[in-house]
Structure 1
Amino acid sequence: MKPARTALAVLALAVLTLTGCSSRGATDDRTPLARPLTTAEADRAALARFSTYRRGTGDVTMTIPYRGSTVTLTGRVDWRRHLGYAELHSDTTPPARELIQWNASTVASRPQWTGGLPQLPPEDAWQAHRLTPHTSPIDAALLLLLGLGSDRPDNAQLLARSSARWIKEDHVGTTPVTLIAGPGTSGPGTDPNRPGNTRYWIDHEGGLLRFSARAGGETRWMTADLPRHGTAALPSPVPALGGS
């Protein structure tokens, strides 16, 4: 019988699967004060993705390391419909901007965009392609953003017994949070006590305010901020996306 996995462990495994790399990157992240989760911490961590799902739609800002540069995503995600809408901005020279909408299988983009994120997407000039998370860090990040919502809480007892670790008490803005390292993966040659390549900043009510992920030997992390405030609903998917 295969061991049960928590939802957070599945998301940690997705970091490795989506980017096609090993877990060796985590060995460089020294957390000497890390310890197993208390019961209360496991309870809050178990609510993290469920609390995001209950929000429905939320604003997201994410930085993504990409080929020696940084791509910034600014937009909104609907965790119930598994749909996102955002602007991508690279810090290359010259900088590049594009609008995107995406779901769990496809991303539609409108390149050479200059106007910020409109409330309603333009009707023309969209180009669609299947997501290729194994080869594209940006596509992997898009899927991970959709995966930050779950329609049920995680299993707190399994989480407490996993390799998830408390790292420190922290703040996101002025909000006190607990920084937790997500579980690592299991299998031959892996350390069952070593945290994985995901990090969660969780407030005292179990709300997820920030998420980071790193894969393989990368020294930089992709990081998403999820502020908790009212957010407008996402527009209907553009025809190029093929539905939500």
Structure 2
Amino acid sequence: MRSWFITRSLQRLTRGSRMQVLALALGIGVSCCALALAGSDGDRVKPRAITTSEAQRLAMVRFKAFEASPQTVTVKIDDGTDSYAVRGLIDYGTRRGVGTYVAGATGQKQQAGLVAWDSSGLAVALGSGGTSPSSKSPQIARAAEKVRARLWSPRAYAGYPLDTALRVIAALGEDRPDNAQLMAQFGALRLGESTLRGKSYTRFSGPRPRPQSSGAAGAPRQRIASSSPLTYWVDEDGNLGRLEIKGSAMEQPVTIDFLGHEAHAKVPAAPWQGMSRHAQ
């Protein structure tokens, strides 16, 4: 059963690296697959290099995300066979998040549960505590707080699309703006304009991954990636409405929506209390 495999895969132990995902969140310093530059919505203009003002707006994205936390996020993944839907709450002051998820093909028996994640890994608790990806953040936070520590199954991040999404979410917020000059220097592109939830957003591809040096004298230079795997949907004030992650093994991009500040909920500490440390 594929849904059984999904649930088991969420609980397996593997290694993870925060530094790699920090680079991924910036689009700099990791080797990544190509990103499809044409969006499904909005204008169809040819991608172009970003202007100085656009670079400054893109450089504000991570800082704006930090300022808006705790905020509600959703994740949607569809690999053509199975799917994941997650709704949760991320706090960039602690780099911790909790959420509720449903995994499995739509229309078939699905697995539901709760997930907690931080910069080093994630933990899953089977059973949703009465929540679903349509629940409000306060309800999700209360459900996660009520789960006994021994019922959480922690592990380090692996290479699954959901792991990538949660790692990027955890790494995204920063307490200061990024360097706007680097955004332009490493090839960030303006892809076009789109409307999301009734609001206008500019779509940008992130800075292109920079080739990693092998360190060996005379070694051939790696080519700079032609495009970033990340598409940022950014409003006129630098707020991030959506982040798309494209991978060569995925038929559809991973979609992460940022729904804004949540004033009536906070990420509970309970999932981390008494829990075994994530594998390092």
> Where on the TM-score scale, by shorter chain, does this alignment land: which range?
0.7 to 0.9
Query: Is 1:236 matched with 2:269?
Result: yes
Q: State percent identity of aligned pairs.
A: 24
SS at match of 1:63: strand
With 202-211 and 91-100 compared, the bigger mean Cα shift is at 91-100
Counterpart residue identity of residue 130, structure 1: R
Q: Which TM-score applies when normalising by structure 2?
A: 0.73
2:167 paired residue number: 143
1:23 paired residue number: 32
Query: Is 1:90 matched with 2:103?
Result: yes
Counterpart residue identity of residue 220, structure 1: Q
Contact 1:106/1:128 (8 A) holds in 2: no
With 163-172 and 136-145 compared, the bigger mean Cα shift is at 136-145
Distance 1:243 1:81 in 2: 16
Query: Is 1:216 matched with 2:241?
Result: no
With 88-97 and 197-206 compared, the bigger mean Cα shift is at 88-97
In structure 2, do the counterparts of structure 1 residues 29 and 108 end up closer, same or farther at CA, with 3 Å as the change threshold? same
SS at match of 1:158: helix
- Deviation of residue 59 (structure 1)? 0.2
- Deviation of residue 215 (structure 1)? 2.2
In structure 2, do the counterparts of structure 1 residues 221 and 241 end up closer, same or farther at CA, with 3 Å as the change threshold? farther
1:161 to 177, 185, 206: 185
CA RMSD of aligned residues (A): 2.6
- Deviation of residue 56 (structure 1)? 2.2
2:234 paired residue number: 202
Distance 2:24 2:75 in 1: 21
Contact 1:23/1:216 (8 A) holds in 2: no
Distance 1:118 1:173 in 2: 22
1:129 paired residue number: 154
- Deviation of residue 34 (structure 1)? 0.3
- Deviation of residue 58 (structure 1)? 0.4
In structure 2, do the counterparts of structure 1 residues 218 and 118 end up closer, same or farther at CA, with 3 Å as the change threshold? closer
With 161-170 and 181-190 compared, the bigger mean Cα shift is at 181-190
Counterpart residue identity of residue 109, structure 1: V
Contact 2:70/2:90 (8 A) holds in 1: yes
5+ long unaligned stretches in structure 1: 1-6, 17-21
Q: Which TM-score applies when normalising by structure 1?
A: 0.83
5+ long unaligned stretches in structure 2: 1-21, 39-43, 132-138, 212-220
SS at match of 1:227: strand
Distance 1:217 1:163 in 2: 24
SS at match of 1:147: helix
Larger radius of gyration: 2
In structure 2, do the counterparts of structure 1 residues 223 and 88 end up closer, same or farther at CA, with 3 Å as the change threshold? same
